[in-house]
Structure 1
Amino acid sequence: MQGLRQFLLLPLLAALALPKGSSVESTGAPRCGASLHELNKALRIELNANASCTWQIQRNSNQTIRLIFSYFKFAPSSSCETESIKVFDGPSTNSPLLGQVCNSTDAVPVLESSSDSLTFLITTNSVDFRRNFFVFYYFFSPESNTEDCGGQLTGSNGTFSSPNYPAPYPAFTYCVWHIQTPKNSKINLQFQDFFLELDRNCQLDFTAVYDGSTTTSGLIGKVCGRAQPTFESSSNTMTVVLATDSSTSYRGFSAHYSSVPLPGPVEPDTFLTCSSDSMKIVLSKPYLASLGYNESHLQLNDPSCRPVITDLVTFSFPLSSCGTVKKEEGQSITYTNIISLSATGNVITRQKNTEIIAKCRMENNSTLEVFYITRDNVIQNITAMGRYNVSMSFYDSDSFSKPIHQSPYYVDLNQTLFAQVNLHSTDPNLLVFVDTCTASPQSDFGSLTYDLIRSGCNKDDTVVTYPPLEHHGRFKFRAFRFLRSFPSIYLQCDIVICDSNNSNSRCTQGCISRHRRAVSPHTWKTNTVVGPIRLKRDLSSADPSESLTKAVAEEIPNLQQYNFYTLAFVILISNILIVVAVILKHHKHRAGYTYQKIQSSL
């Protein structure tokens, strides 16, 4: 009888461990891929070797999809090239790549679509191993997401809690807290009360803590159930995430953080800067001395690249030189170089194995600079921000050899305008793609705008785009005016930078005509603005503002004509005055004589 109870109880416990609406995608024979149309769903996926399976999520809901891989286990020692999960922002694997998950992913991947559909592809290598994945997704409306959770936390200490605490947290909660304390400190985080749904591997409801300012900074830990966990960062930034599904909710957590001074030497002169052209690493001599190193023993991946040594030790080099390794990682392009100790020829050493790894990650309208130092498995993070260096100019012809330097740029109505976007970078393997260009009569691009290009598609009949050419994105169109009385036009263009070695990048896909609520969130997108453009004349218009524009554009020739007529008028008036003066003088002279009768002598 007792054996029968256990036999009945085990399936019941297994069913309770799954969230509501979830499904086991694989128990015996692995199920490979599916087309999903539910508003939310949880998937437990098991795959063997040599799999290539595609799941498509699609629903006509005009909402955003949030996809969370709360657990993934690939074959041991597999690489991103042989085993991965690739997520595409659209209905197929031909859609733009949104992100990639593989064995080296040190995070709980959370990806969001910019449309009503997502596709993810899981591929495995030939190693005989049972892979396990747990993923859940749900649709949500960003504009209706009013949960008061997440945000920026600054200062030496503070507190925060899950939504509704101590009442149960809502279903499908996703909160991100960014904590930053004063420089030269680290963060101690204590959960004073913690109660989340418990399951194996924390797949359903969980809190994740990251050692840095973003969710890609390195995962410190992921927790669920009942506990009082404590975490400590290696720098003055930390990121905390709360994610929940649609099943059972509990009271959540209450947390307190405080800053702790960093031990050891202060490193004010140890930093990294990145630009489109170069990478610069600066190390202070006192810091190197505190590690027991001589600055002359340091080298980059390419030992021939030497530092400049003054009071500081400075490595400065172009991104594409000195052994810098370039890699496309999901939706980012990274440039990595390593400062290490040069070999001395000895068989053994009693020095610590220290590497200074400098990484520039190009993502989301900026260059995220990641700089960390490994010291006996201790990682210290330093981050900074930068931008791609791009500019846009008009040219006088389709040869794009002579830029127009005048501002404002005066043009004729219906004149063909040639525009070129330039990326200023030393990396030769980059392409520039003009994703979207919008015109507006206002420099702040207010409510009145007009699309010339949208998602790579020409929206104006006169627009012609040129194929991507190295560091240049080019297009042309004919000048127009807004119907209302606006004298100027500004252009704002969203630019996508791609690795030219990737044959399936956004830069090579061209027009994406399917409906989007916004431009696809390509990680390394940036934008540039040029203007104003003004019409020289419009003979068919009696608009006073355009007449004024015409007068300004023709000010110099009109002024010359005005001066000629003025001079002629002055000469004419002068001659008239001279004639009048002579007549008056003659009249006055005659008026001075009187008639006198001559007496006769007779």
Structure 2
Amino acid sequence: MYDHSGSHMRQRRALMSKFCDQRSGCVAELNAASMQVPEGKVVVLSFRFLDLESDNLCRYDYVDVYSGHANGQRLGRFCGTFRPGALVSTSNKMLLQMVSDANTAGSGFLAVYSAANPNERGDQYCGGRLMKPSGTFKTPNWPERDYPAGVTCSWHIVAPKNQIIEVKFEKFDVERDNYCRYDYVAIFNGGEINDAKRIGKYCGDSPPAPVFSEGNQLFIQFLSDLSLTADGFIGHYKFRPKKFPSTTVPPTTTAPPTTTRPIPLKYSAALCQQKCKRKGTPESHYCSSNFVITGTVITAVTRGGSMYATISIINVYKEGNLAIQQAGKTMSTKIVILCKKCPYVRRGLNYIFMGQADEEGRGMIAPHHFIMAFKAKNQRAFNMLKNKRC
């Protein structure tokens, strides 16, 4: 199935078709190629040509690339004609696995692999396995020029078993899109790409809030498509003890026990005793607000004197430091209304939220911030907010 010529691997479509035709009831064909370079090096794989059956979810014909072996971390799944950037393993081994069904077929692919030093940085690739107590990761070309189009970078950060990992972005500028569909950074708990363990997906020009792993491993993936690029980013990580001391104020004995961290924003009881009356307009609050979004209240739970709400986002006008999670095409965020009845929101209704984000990326809404009911007919007026200069 593959023509091994030096470091080249080539799929031959005619050979594949003949093999499939000779099998009664052939449904799929699976082929794998294992790559290994000398100990102490990493594998760099580049696709020179890619033409497989196109599908948004790559369900039919696709190529999987793994660091190490099939049970290791998957660096990506590819189909169609989009040619990804260079892929870098976190060890001296890499596995390429192709699956094709018996229906639509493409011309195949041509890929080349080579050996590189783990910390080597080239214009077209990046990534690797990071095991030092602290370190830095960045997009190719940083800070001299924009990151390249069509690049994929994967960093696997591994701490000792009794420690967790903190990640902070010093500078961040990745092609902006409300759904982060084109260029993005995705961070996962564990050592592989797994949507069930995804912490967040980020793009735009606002650095994400600091990220803490649940265990001793994090996987960071950066992907750029073949169109627009931007400055890129530089991020830092460091290992922390698993139970590092909290800087927030412990909850009072009158508050019910909760797994949610206490609100770090200090406010007095008098804040919630004043008369609740909305003042100003979206335009007058826009510049003073850290974030501005419209969304639907999915959950609203009262804890102590505050309300904790999950918002399904309709539109983002100003992201600020707000931590936005994405699952498929759905974006959501967490908002705390400091005084549960001011402003008052109801589950299932749509609102525009304008407030401040705390150091963990949660939205904080105080009585003097701005919330109002949102209706589709107001969409055009709110779109003008994006053009407002502050």
Give the TM-score band, short-chain normalised: 0.3 to 0.5
Whose helix fraction is larger, Structure 1's or Structure 2's?
A: 1
TM-score by length of 2: 0.36
Greater RCO, 1 or 2 (C-alpha within 8 Å, sep 6+): 2
